[in-house]
Structure 1
């Protein structure tokens, strides 16, 4: 009844207001050597990147396509402070400033949105590569605890924005990418644009046999989005994304197999032919209304559904999650005590219904047949509600001094229903976390018209996942608390001589009530609040635009982060790890590259990634080796018959054939005398190429 009531409420909102509209971006006209002005959409009050007092990085469509086009997250390691581990095409872990590094599998402790629709589930899990690269215009990453706008997400927020044709002509496009491990990606897309509407749709099919055994991958994805403009004062936007995936899982390896046979799958996963498969869709509508020149509202409604089936050696997991929600935001420009002021006030609501059931896996009774489903051994349903109110005030106190204040109020509650009656354990129960207030105070001082200094103090939090809320007996752990973090930061953003852009940030983050996932069985983790961590770091980014001649441009870039992350107070099962390095994250990451662009259409992209050693366990007795990766790509764009644009490209990843661990399992445990399986081997040297044909109408 509760779920139906909430659903009716949100549907009612749908009837009166429609998802966040995409306003036409402002792109100032500049000469070819001057770096363009960048306007951010992800912050509550739109502002220029250089004049935003927070650590926000933007990846343009060009930057996202500098390398292989199979994964959206492949470009994230170019952002200082962000570290992405790609265990497989369907498995990644994204950490921001060390937050989320100790997650056992996948990404948590951050928030992700696609055109303001939450990709992150109600309990904090994020799978971002369901959104294909062809559907993305750009990505904005807010780093560190900044819950004043988006609520839960201790590490930060990743905002994806859908591709829009903009002012270009209508077009149709087909492309194919092929490469090592039987990689094949076929895509078709179309766009239409005029003064009143902008429409885009793309379909792609991505397949690969993978570098390792039992790693076949098959994903079909369809995305459509558009904006309908009604005069100068209103716009309606819509978006839909559908994904069907089946990906086999090689899992992690022990040190012996990792060094001697990295192409192998873990024995049990290979024997069971373990995989994950799911259908997922998200849809949303948005309406933006300008009531006056200084007052507007944007209201969004959305739904998100995932129906999954995952055979694993120890059991078979069947899941379904359905979420529905709404987000609204009012923006107002005025003067406060004669100071120019911009204010934003809004709220977000999300209800997620999760159903999960487990079955016996009888693969050992049916050799060579893969996973065979047996009798049911668990059946749970969880209903989670997320209420979020936020406000922000920008005050231009002096001509060169801007103050920013923000506040977020969050309430999260959930109920668990045990639908399995064959045992003596009843897990049914309700729980609500304490109301969390997340303030933010920041200031930006304009040293010159192109150089800015900022300070930022902000609070963030992350709630436990579904699994972490259960005790070893399967009951709700009512003593569990969300992780809370405070971020203190000073930074500089500036442009030198029109064509050199620099960013420097120094920060410290203190995390309290650290959530620790203790492994109590083959696939059972129990969450406990076990201590505190300190995240101290320095980040640097450089971008340079050098016009060698009217026909050739060279664009070198570099990013680096140097971290000093450690456990401040951490005692786990009687072991004191205070002062140890934080598990699962490198203390250095450096990314450098050079882009060569020519008027003739030829371009060349080079990138080198350096990653230091990573602690494998909390005791710091084991570390991975540091590694270096070099990736190269060349492309040629030309036009034939006036309206046909052709793109040819070829590239190589891991040019030096480095042997390295692309991802790890923190604090892995060996069962039955086997080695702990810490390591996911990275791909060896591999090649790819592609061709695309675009017709302009």
Structure 2
């Protein structure tokens, strides 16, 4: 299936090129949409809001999980399921904590191209992480200007090749890991290209947990004589088999965390994924007039066998016909964006005004079948869901006096959803429906640079998150699209201080308060049928501490601590903690370079987290835990050959802990065990031409 980009998408992109193309260039400065795209220095008013990890901060690993790149960044909670049939669970200040699969409430980007759909669904499992050079996280009210579901922004960035070379890498280890990578990079003047392939097999620590993944990416970069950057990318991900061992009840986990839910074998629970996306970006980042435009289009096909036959269930005495234990989903998506930033003077004050537009669409063709113990049976669901979104935004930045930066911005978004039910039979009424959302986000704030070391910041804003198509699929009682779901609205306040001492020391202390109305939470999850509701209100308050320190050229220390009090603030759940959110989390990483170079690096990583409740009633919690990792890596060059290696021992103490929870799981199977002690190693050889 292939969806054609609607005429207005092509029109806005072409218009952007025609109108913005002939602009001039002078000094570089970033705009809203390219703020976390290029890796250059962002606008002064926003610089302190971005937390980042460079490639030198990444601990070695097989690069199978985005958690490897997000360590030590404050505000982020990454729950690794150790189950490749379910995407890594990521939440930021509690946004996205409700997600049973994938990522919700966080805007995901790779090289400025959205990895989130217009209704707020996202995942990073299809991204080749080996060539990511930088990870940036934008928190707080300003993130709301990125639109629907942007409780925060996580942006991954690659870099254009600098030399022509061929790379070959292999990795192996626990639990039954085998991974091979092959990459070719080329550089000739203003042009560069990269072709990369990766193949991965993992046996898994639990029975019925085998995973196989095949990935490929082609990238082309070119800078014109007029300093126009052009980037073209095509990526493909194919997962032929991702077995799902399913989650466990607390008593099962305590007895034997390495066991598999028996239902997994009975129904042969598994998933296959086929993902493909093409994008092109044009950007001019230098001068008083700066602009960027991007177009993307792709397809994602999923077939998943769940741990039940039909999904028929009885809720409050009413029997519902399930949609079958086999999901067959074909998703087509496309989008375009354009942003223009103009520098000028306003009443003798230096100013920047950014305006932009983003359009996106997706179409889900979804079918469901009876799961006859691992084979697809009769049709139980057939529908077509569509989402169209159109957003416009503006951001004004002022510098009234030296050291003081002010900003104010707003974004208006509209999202239209529609589901057409083609499976209307006796006992299964027409579940068609439609719902339109119109929401506004805004943010304003200030930064004050007292001197070269001290910076103070504060901001306030409003954001929103509409329910996804998946979350609207079911009602708790009755049939039909859950059109009663309202968009969740949040009001965020953030303030803090940043201390920097040259390139050696950085400490950031941030406090935040978030009040949400109509928070989207899981209402019930039983028999594959998960319904959602709007909570009356929630409150989240917390503090985050981030620091990095370089002891000369031999030692580097990187750490974070976060405290999040996330509670329901009204109704019968008043005072209960939000499920899926840890109250406390600490991370500390230490790197030692004995020779002061990349020849040898030794590292240790400590993580500690408090308990996490599995449901709204707070009756059951996954215990807190502490893990300790050790690693070593090095590089050695001989003429045109560069040899790199790494070794990692994770969970050194063999801690038995829950890596993630399934929120509000009605059958009690909410614990997803993490890996025990595991050892992995890899080697990479590069030959420069």
CA distance 1:650–1:185, shift in 2 (3 Å): same
Q: Under a length normalisation based on structure 1, what TM-score does the superposition of the two structures give? A: 0.90
2:429 matched residue in structure 1: 425
User: How much does 1:450 deviate?
Assistant: 3.1
- Separation in 1, partners of 2:141, 2:265: 40
User: How much does 1:103 deviate?
Assistant: 2.2
- Separation in 2, partners of 1:430, 1:112: 26
Q: Is the 1:359–1:378 contact (alpha carbons within 8 Å) kept by the matching residues of 2?
A: yes
User: 1:607-618 maps to which residues of 2 (within 5 A)?
Assistant: 607-618=605-616
The farther-off stretch of 6-15 and 606-615 is 6-15
1:644 matched residue in structure 2: 641
- Separation in 1, partners of 2:217, 2:378: 37
The farther-off stretch of 321-330 and 292-301 is 292-301
Q: Tell me the alpha carbon deviations over residues 590-641 of structure 1, each in whole angstroms, 9 at most, x when there is no partner.
A: 001211123460111110001111122222222222111111111121112x
Matched, 1:452 2:450: no
User: 1:142-291 maps to which residues of 2 (within 5 A)?
Assistant: 142-165=138-161, 168-245=162-239, 246-289=241-284
- Separation in 1, partners of 2:44, 2:200: 37
Q: Is the 1:96–1:155 contact (alpha carbons within 8 Å) kept by the matching residues of 2?
A: yes
User: How much does 1:520 deviate?
Assistant: 5.5
CA distance 1:456–1:648, shift in 2 (3 Å): same
User: How much does 1:123 deviate?
Assistant: 2.7
User: How much does 1:46 deviate?
Assistant: 6.7
- Separation in 2, partners of 1:491, 1:68: 36
Q: Is the 1:663–1:680 contact (alpha carbons within 8 Å) kept by the matching residues of 2?
A: yes
How many residues matched? 655
CA distance 1:40–1:160, shift in 2 (3 Å): same
2:561 matched residue in structure 1: 560
User: How much does 1:41 deviate?
Assistant: 3.4
Unaligned runs of 5+ in 2: 309-324
User: How much does 1:73 deviate?
Assistant: 2.4
- Separation in 1, partners of 2:137, 2:611: 25
Q: Tell me the alpha carbon deviations over residues 51-74 of structure 1, each in whole angstroms, 9 at most, x when there is no partner.
A: 626632112122234444322222
Q: Is the 1:147–1:408 contact (alpha carbons within 8 Å) kept by the matching residues of 2?
A: no
Q: Is the 2:144–2:443 contact (alpha carbons within 8 Å) kept by the matching residues of 1?
A: yes
Q: Is the 1:356–1:381 contact (alpha carbons within 8 Å) kept by the matching residues of 2?
A: yes
- Separation in 1, partners of 2:399, 2:16: 32
User: How much does 1:541 deviate?
Assistant: 0.8
- Separation in 2, partners of 1:77, 1:668: 28
CA distance 1:647–1:49, shift in 2 (3 Å): farther
Q: Select the residue among 510, 513, 518 that pairs with 2:523.
A: 518
2:108 matched residue in structure 1: 112
Unaligned runs of 5+ in 1: 28-38, 364-370, 671-675
CA distance 1:173–1:520, shift in 2 (3 Å): closer
Matched, 1:307 2:301: yes
1:98 matched residue in structure 2: 94
- Separation in 2, partners of 1:70, 1:521: 30
1:606 matched residue in structure 2: 604
1:360 matched residue in structure 2: 370
- Separation in 1, partners of 2:386, 2:121: 15
User: 1:308-457 maps to which residues of 2 (within 5 A)?
Assistant: 308-314=302-308, 315-363=325-373, 371-423=374-426, 424-433=428-437, 435-457=438-460
User: 1:46-57 maps to which residues of 2 (within 5 A)?
Assistant: 47-48=41-42, 52=46, 55-57=49-51
Q: Is the 2:141–2:443 contact (alpha carbons within 8 Å) kept by the matching residues of 1?
A: no
CA distance 1:44–1:593, shift in 2 (3 Å): closer
SS across alignment from 2:580:
coil
SS across alignment from 2:265:
helix
Q: Is the 1:137–1:164 contact (alpha carbons within 8 Å) kept by the matching residues of 2?
A: no
2:73 matched residue in structure 1: 79
SS across alignment from 2:69:
helix
SS across alignment from 1:298:
strand
User: How much does 1:15 deviate?
Assistant: 5.5
Q: Select the residue among 672, 686, 691 that pairs with 2:683.
A: 691
SS across alignment from 2:419:
strand
User: How much does 1:44 deviate?
Assistant: 11
1:626 matched residue in structure 2: 624
- Separation in 2, partners of 1:43, 1:445: 25
CA distance 1:147–1:412, shift in 2 (3 Å): farther
Q: Is the 2:59–2:603 contact (alpha carbons within 8 Å) kept by the matching residues of 1?
A: no
Q: Is the 1:112–1:118 contact (alpha carbons within 8 Å) kept by the matching residues of 2?
A: yes
